[in-house]
Structure 1
């Protein structure tokens, strides 16, 4: 029962954090509110969470990384792939090496292998925290796509580096050649397993659905099992479960194109995954806050491991690590953008040097979050001979401090840097969208005409089918005429008006239905059905500019 109570407390804290974050007038990001609520749970309740590192890693990381790979915009990722790879791989390696030697130099009592492990866990960034911070000052789309792509890849690269660092700490030896070969197996096999598991699972469920029909609940459950199955299989063959989960998510996006699920399945599945993402990210930050009181209580023992006696030395180390991370990121981002401009300058005339604020904002946006906490908590409790893992509490304290300080700094600096900041202009996508809508409408008209003829030939009542099909085809022809004959500005203005009027009508329908329900003039089943139809219509017209 105690475990159940702890889980309920954590879930309640996640729910309350969202409301509290919206109530606070200063725009405090939700992750910081969740950390504070977690700290309150740790300080004022008797509940304590004893985290099993392997179980923690298995429960939280595979679904989050799978969903990141599934939902990240692929075209935008490939457009800036060189920049993303430079940040996600080059910057991670520079961070791991540079920060490891800095930490080992500052804290000689921390072995170099443990310093490499700490540097590896603080190298990945967290776009969820950045999104929460920038909720009131939207991040430019292209910049957000770069940050998302970087986070997707540097999660894997940072945690793979952590794996080698922990292995070196446990064995006391490290061979660069053996590590390179091991990395090829860990990365290659992990990627291949993620792709293979996803393709096998999606093809199997498509075959079953094609022969015996589709069950929405089973389809959703399969999507939930894929990241865990990929992770477990990869770890079983000593490959990277993290990379397996990432590649499974990326493959899922392409597999869904050729094996479409029912619309109801997709809608419900998206809702389930939204809930899972919100819950897992929230619980991770609440757990971080819940662990802080215990970490602070052992501050005296922790600071003793550094060779000092005053606890404020821990704050000095945290600030030094944050400063080192910021400087390395700023220099790398500046160099990366300069190289990109030099490459494009040979092909495109008029390429401009990026604004200093753009470089600074991209640097500040490197917030540490859920992955850093998940990674540092996976440090083993003991070495191979049973002795305690050296400086484990210190590493956890420093990682937790880096997360909190980076969140606070970003919440203060990022809105200031992003205010009025414009990314380099991108080509308009409206023409591409209009062409796709016209092609879809024309295909619908052709399909309706064929269906009319088939029904007329089989039933012989051509007028009825012609009238019904004609009404639907008129709607598609109006869409084609509107997108073809008028300029894009007029189309968008007209569509906005149509959407506004449609939403007014839908809200009136909802109010009337509520009156009927209160008066018990309709049954509960009919009320649920009509409410769902209104919800779908309002979601459609509320999120799209095209009626």
Structure 2
């Protein structure tokens, strides 16, 4: 395909993303469902060339930045607190599901070698980070459940990739060792973590000397691919390397990034992640055409593959539920025996955890990366695509109602010790104390009376608000409604002055930026 035509297709894909997101919003559907369906429809548009997806390229382009973004925004303290639970899902559940799916696949297709069945299990077992984000950003969960699902989606790709490579190698060599598998996983994981710490630390030291915010944003954007590619080059886990890099950089970003860099970088990165997440689902849908053609058409696929696909999908659901409910029973048993004091999730929380296993780009990329002569390649590819479509359509669309049914309440132990109002009051008190010390010159003369009065009133008001939040809430909303109206009036006058030629473009942009910051501050305070 000519370069110009490829670029036209990319632009058309981005236009389709905007249209499908808008349609999903209007219909109340998860965007992932609309994008997946839209991509599948586009795949069969007459005259549109068949889209072939290079699996290695897909993983390298899309996975690192999305992993870095997830690690950047995850709550590191809660990640450490629930590391055992996350490891149980990201490692234990993936291994368990791989074994169960391999057994069922061998039962369905006895001629399929065990190594090929294990490869299928490894391909479909890890829930996808991109798909999980697309689902979780639309729902509200208690913090513990949220961190378990976010942490699992960040780390389980490494487990799935390791198992997949071991299964492919076992088919080639005819040998498989559990001890070798465990040692390989530990080596890849610890090696990836070490690479991530090194790259993240280097980034922290590097950005301190850059100074220019645009250079810092550019360097941070490249950070995802640097850590991933370096990890893969050193034959350790690029996934773990990228996640660790994101955790290190996120921990230090509050001290090494300026306010302007953080605001502009967040805006830029939000758009990049939005386009990448959406493009992943479009590409999955576009891949349907190749899957159908290899299977001999829709009729042939439905006739020969429908039952195995449904069986594999049900196996995935049952295996995940068995693992999470089994883990819940182990927690209760350990609490009864006095071996641990972990709070069980309860029926509702465990049900949500079991239902939130949506598959996506990693499953597709691994299936497509199988060698052409791999036993049962077409069967595995169809099963992988069926699992992606099934989990996105089934679990992605029903997770919200399941959460509503569960009626979960935030556990007391998971709540922060201070509310946002209390934290703001503590911050305002320290700010007032600092201004009070600096408001006087060396001779004790007050040189900043208005500044001192402003911070004193602010500290007093915020402390009072923290004590009586419910009483002040209506007045607070009304106050910032007036502020927003004033900002709108100021912007209207600013534009009038510019259109009349009274002010130049530079003045317009400078004053408009001040109004934008005031508006964002008011919206944030009102929320």
TM-score (norm 2): 0.89
On the 8 A contact 2:33/2:396 being kept in 1, the answer is no
Q: CA deviation at 1:302?
A: 11
Q: CA deviation at 1:496?
A: 3.6
Show the 5 A alignment for 1:43-82.
43-44=44-45, 45-82=47-84
Q: Residue deviations 1:213-269, cap 9 Å, x none? A: x11111011111222111222222211111111111111122324x42111101111
Q: Residue deviations 1:157-193, cap 9 Å, x none? A: 2222222223323444323333333222211111100
Alignment counterpart, residue 218 of structure 1, candidates 203, 215, 219: 215
Q: Where does residue 17 of structure 1 map in the other structure?
A: 20
On the 8 A contact 2:67/2:129 being kept in 1, the answer is no
Alignment counterpart, residue 8 of structure 1, candidates 11, 16, 34: 11
Q: Where does residue 306 of structure 1 map in the other structure?
A: none
Give the 3-state SS of the residue equivalent to 1:300 in structure 2. Answer: coil
Q: Residue deviations 1:26-52, cap 9 Å, x none? A: x22211211222223321142333322
Alignment counterpart, residue 359 of structure 1, candidates 346, 350, 363: 350
CA distance in 1, matches of 2:298, 2:108: 15
- Does residue 508 (structure 1) correspond to residue 493 (structure 2)? The answer is no
Q: CA deviation at 1:290?
A: 0.8
Give the 3-state SS of the residue equivalent to 1:268 in structure 2. Answer: helix
Q: Residue deviations 1:420-446, cap 9 Å, x none? A: 533244235473434432332233223
Gaps in structure 2 of 5+ consecutive residues: none
Q: Residue deviations 1:273-331, cap 9 Å, x none? A: 2122111111111111111012112213999xxxxx77423121111111001111112
Q: CA deviation at 1:343?
A: 4.4
Q: Where does residue 451 of structure 2 map in the other structure?
A: 469
Show the 5 A alignment for 1:340-359.
340-344=331-335, 356-359=347-350
Q: Where does residue 401 of structure 1 map in the other structure?
A: 386
CA distance in 1, matches of 2:136, 2:262: 28
Deviates more, 1:311-320 or 1:288-297: 311-320
CA distance in 1, matches of 2:370, 2:522: 51
On the 8 A contact 1:345/1:351 being kept in 2, the answer is no
CA distance in 1, matches of 2:26, 2:298: 37
Gaps in structure 1 of 5+ consecutive residues: 304-308, 383-387
Q: Where does residue 265 of structure 1 map in the other structure?
A: 261
Q: Where does residue 436 of structure 1 map in the other structure?
A: 423
Q: Where does residue 381 of structure 1 map in the other structure?
A: 371
Q: Where does residue 29 of structure 1 map in the other structure?
A: 30
Q: CA deviation at 1:98?
A: 1.2
- Does residue 533 (structure 1) correspond to residue 518 (structure 2)? The answer is no
On the 8 A contact 1:376/1:395 being kept in 2, the answer is yes
Q: CA deviation at 1:8?
A: 1.9
CA distance in 1, matches of 2:348, 2:76: 27
TM-score (norm 1): 0.86
Q: Mark the CA change 1:355 to 1:180 in structure 2 (over 3 Å): closer, same or farther.
A: closer
CA distance in 1, matches of 2:480, 2:164: 51
On the 8 A contact 1:142/1:423 being kept in 2, the answer is no
Give the 3-state SS of the residue equivalent to 2:29 in structure 1. Answer: coil
RMSD of aligned C-alpha atoms? 3.1
Show the 5 A alignment for 1:186-201.
186-201=188-203
Q: CA deviation at 1:203?
A: 0.9
Q: CA deviation at 1:405?
A: 1.0
On the 8 A contact 2:295/2:301 being kept in 1, the answer is no
Q: Mark the CA change 1:73 to 1:351 in structure 2 (over 3 Å): closer, same or farther.
A: closer
Show the 5 A alignment for 1:185-334.
185-206=187-208, 208-209=209-210, 214-257=211-254, 259-300=255-296, 311-334=302-325
